[in-house]
Amino acid sequence: MTQVVENAAGTGITEPGLRLLADLVSDGEVVVLSGAGLSTESGIPDYRGETGRRRRADPMTYQEFTGSEAARRRYWARSHLGWRHVARARPNDGHRAVAELQRRGLIAGIITQNVDGLQQSAGAAGVIELHGALGRVVCLSCGERTPRGRLEARLHAANPGFEARADAINPDGDAVLPGTVVDTFQIVGCERCGGPLKPDVIFFGENVPPARVRDCYALTEGAGALLVLGSSLTVLSGYRFVRHAARHGVPVGIVNRGATRGDEHALVTLDAPLGGALTALLDELGGR
C-alpha cells in the first residue's frame, strides 16, 4: 500500500513516510532513478513539473533536427545562448545528498534522465546517463564525440558579436530567440569530416541505445530498492524501470513534487522539495 506524505521534508519533523523511506534506503543496494525535478533547485527548468507547466515548452524532435539544416541552425543558435545557463548551474542539496548516500555505500547504481551532469559534479560516480549529456557533441556522419566547450569556442568565432537576448531557457538548454536573430546564425560542422553536429543527448523521437537500456534493466532487477527522485515518470523512458522493479519484487520509493505515473507501484511516495527531503533523509539515516 502506498503511503503519501505531503511536504514531509524541510519542517524539522520526522514523518512516518520519511521513516519508511529511510527503512528502504538503509538496507542498501539502492538504485537511484533521477529526473529533471532534481535539478530545478539549481535553476534548470523541467518540462512537466512546476516550471514546465508555467512555460509550456515544445522541444525539438530528432526528426526535425536531422531533416533540416534550417532546424539545426535554429537549434544551435538557441542552444549557443542556452548552454551558458546550463554551464553556470551548480549542484544543489539534492545532488549532494545522492552523492553522500553513495559515499556511505547505500547506492548500487544511479540512472539519470538528466543531461546536465550535475550529479557527477556533486561527486556521484558511475552514473548511467540515460539520455546522454549536453556537455558532449557527436557528429552524425562519423560519430566522433568532442567536448561541448570546443564547439562553443568555434561557434563564438563564427558569430562575432552574437549577443542576442534569450526570451526564455528550455530544459535542454535551448534558449527562445526571435526568428530574425536565428536566421543570421552561422553553424559549424565536424572538425574531422565536416558532418553535421548534434548534442550527445537523446532527442524526443529518438531511441535510447538498446545496450544502455539493458544495463538499466539489469541494474534495476538486481536492486535492493529503486528510489525515484524528481521524475513525473510521464514518458516510458523512465517509467519502464519502475514497472520492471515492480515485476521483480523490488520495492519502490518516490520523492517528487506532485503525483507521478509510478505512484501505484511505490511503497512510499513523498511530495516534497527534493533538496529538503533528501537532506532530511540523510539526517534520519544518520540518527540510526
Is 149 labelled a binding residue? no
Is 170 labelled a binding residue? no
Q: How far apart are CA 39 and CA 171, in angstroms?
A: 10
Is 7 labelled a binding residue? no
Q: Is the dihedral of CA 21, 219, 244, 37 positive or negative?
A: positive
Q: How far apart are CA 10 and CA 128, in angstroms?
A: 29
Is 116 labelled a binding residue? yes
Cell of 123: 561527486
Best CA proximity match to 96, nearest among 47, 42, 44: 42
Is 231 labelled a binding residue? yes
Q: How far apart are CA 258 and CA 224, in angstroms?
A: 25
Is 274 labelled a binding residue? yes
Neighbours of 40 (CB within 10 A): 23
Is 216 labelled a binding residue? no
Is 230 labelled a binding residue? yes
Q: Which residues have C-beta within 8 Å of that of residue 227, sequence separation ≥ 6? A: 21, 24, 25, 30, 31, 32, 33, 252, 253, 254, 255
Is 141 labelled a binding residue? no
Is 142 labelled a binding residue? yes
Phi/psi of residue 164, nearest 5 degrees: -60, 145
The dihedral region occupied by 218, where left means phi > 0, alpha psi between -120 and 50, and beta the remainder, is alpha
Cell of 121: 559534479
- Is 244 an active-site residue? no
Catalytic residue among 80, 85, 95, 131: 131
Environment class of residue 44 by beta-carbon count within 10 Å: exposed (0-12), middle (13-18) or buried (19+)? buried
Q: Which residues, listed in sequence order, are joined to residue 191 by a DSSP beta bridge? A: none
Best CA proximity match to 93, nearest among 271, 229, 253, 276: 276
Q: Which residues, listed in sequence order, are joined to residue 5 by a DSSP beta bridge? A: 270
Is 190 labelled a binding residue? yes
Catalytic positions are 131
Residue ranges at the known binding site for NAD(+): 113-116, 230-232, 256-258, 274
* Residue ranges of the binding site: 113-116, 139, 142, 190, 193, 230-232, 256-258, 274
Binding site, annotated residues for Zn(2+): 139, 142, 190, 193
